[in-house]
């Protein structure tokens, strides 16, 4: 029953949220709902027996689709990430003002319901449902509360992902008619034996959907615009949690079904991912807008995960699992800092900022930790993940690993450059009267920093949590 609660709780509280007229009440309601979801998630994952962690009920008997929800290690980890992210996001942006706050928070909660559904669905049709359900509220969030060019940017984002989803639907339909028992269950899909030649087309149909969502080069062009134009709270969800849908789906819904095709096309995908890493890193160096900088940096990080997925290496896959969680934590931290700066000073341009460390020392310290995590310095959580992933890449091909390694240096360049331009040097007209961040942002960032350091020193809990998924995925190959 736990996964049902995880979906229903945000869904129902979200629907109620539409009817809350008073802004502060809506904020409080959303925060309460998110905290409750977090409690349910932690209790469900760590304190309830595994029998409670799945759910199965008839849904569409004529189609062979059942309402089946299960949680394996990777699901649990991503459910945790989703559950942890939302309260922190609500907390960090607590003072932000939105028109029709009730609807804003309601849509945020609906997004959370969709995300939870994607991570726990074990039936392909159900998975597709949630995949779309997570997208629709985001479309409205970005279009209604976003920046100047929001409508065009969001529409591009929507069309991209929608085309991907439809391709996946064609793939799902094809696989469905190949199953012995005409069922959408994951197990039935897994049992389908396809000739390698048959696998290719269906593999790409699925892969395009996931590649757009991640996004990897050359499917990434929607991403910087969407991240920049969305309200920052939504951007946090997009980059912290939603991109993980793509990686999650590759591990759960792609590689197990098409092992032969995955091997066959591994090289193309790895090369594309690595090209994307370098390309995004180079562009990130040139950015003046903090949001765009983080967006491109995110493409680079995702590229590494996507490349590692196809190296067929156990260590690499462990790295991806850890990094999925860590990237979520780190990137949300960076967005919180960016949002704090923008809310207070009204600009995100590096060229207009400077000397903020004197005015806001606490923010500076917290950002530096987050920045170190973004570069994957030892003792931060990202170090262990990236180390394992590069290990996997190295065992696949030493040259590719070496080229991908350049992106680490580039990451240091753009991240430290950002830190320097924002916090050091002389104060500018804009930053002259800046003050330090208020309590709620501090609290959110401190929680994140604690997670960053704790998982950096002792990553074992994450490795243990996702052990079974790694084992099952590697055993299937």
| CA angle, residues 268, 273, 275, in degrees to nearest 5 | 95
What does the alpha-carbon distance between residue 149 and residue 66 come to, in Å, rounded to a whole number? 41
Which range in 136-144, 186-194, 223-231, 411-419 contacts another protein by CB under 8 A? Answer: 136-144
For residue 58, the number of C-alpha atoms closer than 13 Å in the C-beta half-sphere is 4
* Residue 159 found at the interface with another protein (CB under 8 A): yes
Q: Which is nearest to 394 in space by CA: 303, 309, 476, 316?
A: 316
Which helix (H) or strand (E) segment is 110 a member of?
Answer: helix 101-120
What does the alpha-carbon distance between residue 34 and residue 105 come to, in Å, rounded to a whole number? 11
* Residue 107 found at the interface with another protein (CB under 8 A): no
Nearer to another protein, 81 or 134 (CB): 134
Residue 195 is encoded by which pair of tokens?
Answer: 């000739």
Nearer to another protein, 165 or 420 (CB): 165
Name residues contacting another protein, limited to 189-208 (CB under 8 A).
Answer: 201, 205
Q: How far is the CB of 286 from another protein (least distance, A)?
A: 31
| Binder among 16, 35, 144, 350 for another protein (CB under 8 A) | 144
| Binder among 42, 162, 343, 420 for another protein (CB under 8 A) | 162
* Residue 167 found at the interface with another protein (CB under 8 A): yes
* Residue 268 found at the interface with another protein (CB under 8 A): no
* Residue 12 found at the interface with another protein (CB under 8 A): no
123: left (phi over 0), alpha (psi -120 to 50) or beta: beta
What does the alpha-carbon distance between residue 476 and residue 316 come to, in Å, rounded to a whole number? 16
* Residue 258 found at the interface with another protein (CB under 8 A): no
Q: Which is nearest to 301 in space by CA: 197, 207, 195, 217?
A: 217
* Residue 169 found at the interface with another protein (CB under 8 A): yes
* Residue 106 found at the interface with another protein (CB under 8 A): no
| Binder among 15, 151, 268, 379 for another protein (CB under 8 A) | 151
| Binder among 157, 158, 396, 414 for another protein (CB under 8 A) | 158
Residue 310 is encoded by which pair of tokens?
Answer: 């196809």
Nearer to another protein, 165 or 397 (CB): 165
Nearer to another protein, 184 or 279 (CB): 184
What does the alpha-carbon distance between residue 8 and residue 14 come to, in Å, rounded to a whole number? 9
What does the alpha-carbon distance between residue 195 and residue 211 come to, in Å, rounded to a whole number? 23
Which residues 6+ apart lie within 8 Å of 432 measured at CB? Answer: none
Nearer to another protein, 53 or 143 (CB): 143
Residue 198 is encoded by which pair of tokens?
Answer: 């048959």
Nearer to another protein, 175 or 340 (CB): 175
| Binder among 94, 128, 217, 310 for another protein (CB under 8 A) | 128
Binding mask 34-73 for another protein (x = CB under 8 A): --------------------------xxx-----------
Q: How far is the CB of 303 from another protein (least distance, A)?
A: 25
What does the alpha-carbon distance between residue 120 and residue 225 come to, in Å, rounded to a whole number? 29
Which range in 76-84, 139-147, 249-257, 293-301 contacts another protein by CB under 8 A? Answer: 139-147
* Residue 163 found at the interface with another protein (CB under 8 A): yes
Which residues 6+ apart lie within 8 Å of 12 measured at CB? Answer: none
| Binder among 27, 66, 150, 348 for another protein (CB under 8 A) | 150
- With helix as H, strand as E and coil as C, how does 366-433 read? HHHHHHHHHHCCCCCHHHHHHHHHHHHHHHHCHHHHHHHHHHHHHHHHHHHHHHHHHHCCCCCCCCCC
Nearer to another protein, 60 or 268 (CB): 60
What does the alpha-carbon distance between residue 223 and residue 227 come to, in Å, rounded to a whole number? 6
| Binder among 31, 36, 70, 140 for another protein (CB under 8 A) | 140
Nearer to another protein, 174 or 190 (CB): 174
Q: Spell out the long-range contacts of 458-463 with Cβ–Cβ below 8 A and sequence spacing 24 or more.
A: 459/322, 459/381, 459/384, 459/385, 462/77, 462/321, 462/322, 462/325, 462/326, 463/318, 463/321, 463/322
Contact residues toward another protein (CB under 8 A) are 60-62, 128-129, 132-133, 136, 140, 143-144, 150-151, 155, 158-159, 162-163, 166-167, 169-170, 173-174, 176-177, 201, 205
């Amino acid at each position: 029953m736990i996964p049902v609660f995880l979906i229903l709780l945000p869904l129902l509280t979200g629907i109620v949220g539409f009817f809350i007229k008073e802004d502060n009440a809506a904020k409080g309601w959303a925060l309460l709902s998110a905290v409750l979801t977090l409690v349910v998630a932690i209790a469900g994952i760590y304190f309830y027996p595994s029998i409670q962690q799945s759910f199965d009920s008839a849904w569409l008997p004529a189609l062979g689709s059942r309402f089946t929800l299960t949680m394996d290690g990777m699901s649990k980890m991503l459910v945790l990430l989703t559950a942890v992210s939302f309260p922190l996001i609500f907390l960090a942006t607590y003072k932000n003002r939105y028109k029709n706050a009730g609807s804003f928070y309601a849509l945020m909660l609906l997004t959370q319901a969709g995300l939870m559904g994607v991570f726990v669905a074990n039936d392909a049709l159900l998975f597709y449902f949630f995949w779309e359900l997570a997208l629709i509220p985001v479309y409205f969030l970005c279009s209604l509360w976003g920046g100047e060019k929001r409508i065009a940017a969001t529409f591009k984002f929507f069309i991209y992902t929608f085309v991907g989803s439809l391709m996946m639907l064609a793939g799902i339909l094809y696989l469905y008619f190949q199953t012995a028992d005409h069922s959408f269950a994951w197990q039935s899909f897994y049992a389908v034996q396809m000739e390698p030649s048959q696998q290719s087309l269906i593999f790409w149909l699925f892969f395009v959907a996931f590649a757009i969502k991640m996004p990897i080069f050359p499917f990434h062009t929607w991403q910087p615009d969407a991240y920049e134009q969305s309200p920052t709270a939504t951007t946090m969800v997009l980059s912290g949690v939603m991109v993980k849908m793509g990686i999650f789906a590759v591990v759960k819904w792609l590689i197990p079904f098409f092992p032969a095709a995955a091997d066959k096309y591994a090289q193309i995908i790895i090369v594309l991912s690595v090209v994307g890493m370098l390309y995004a890193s180079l562009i990130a160096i040139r950015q003046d807008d903090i949001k765009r900088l983080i967006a491109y940096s995110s493409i680079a990080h995702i590229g590494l995960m996507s490349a590692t997925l196809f190296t067929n290496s156990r260590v690499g896959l462990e790295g991806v699992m850890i990094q999925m969680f860590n990237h979520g934590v780190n990137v949300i931290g960076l967005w919180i800092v960016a949002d704090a700066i923008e809310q207070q000073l009204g600009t995100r341009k590096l060229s207009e900022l400077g000397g903020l460390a004197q005015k806001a020392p606490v923010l500076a310290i917290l950002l530096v930790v987050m920045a170190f995590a973004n570069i994957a310095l030892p003792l931060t959580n990202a170090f262990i993940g990236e180390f394992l992933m590069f290990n996997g890449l190295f065992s696949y091909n030493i040259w590719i690993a070496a080229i991908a390694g350049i992106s680490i240096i580039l990451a240091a360049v753009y991240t430290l450059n950002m830190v320097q331009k924002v916090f050091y040097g002389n104060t500018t007209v804009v930053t002259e009267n800046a003050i330090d961040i208020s309590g709620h942002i501090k609290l959110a960032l401190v929680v994140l920093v604690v997670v960053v350091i704790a998982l950096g020193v002792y990553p074992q809990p994450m490795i243990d949590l996702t052990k079974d998924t790694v084992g099952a995925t590697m055993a299937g190959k």
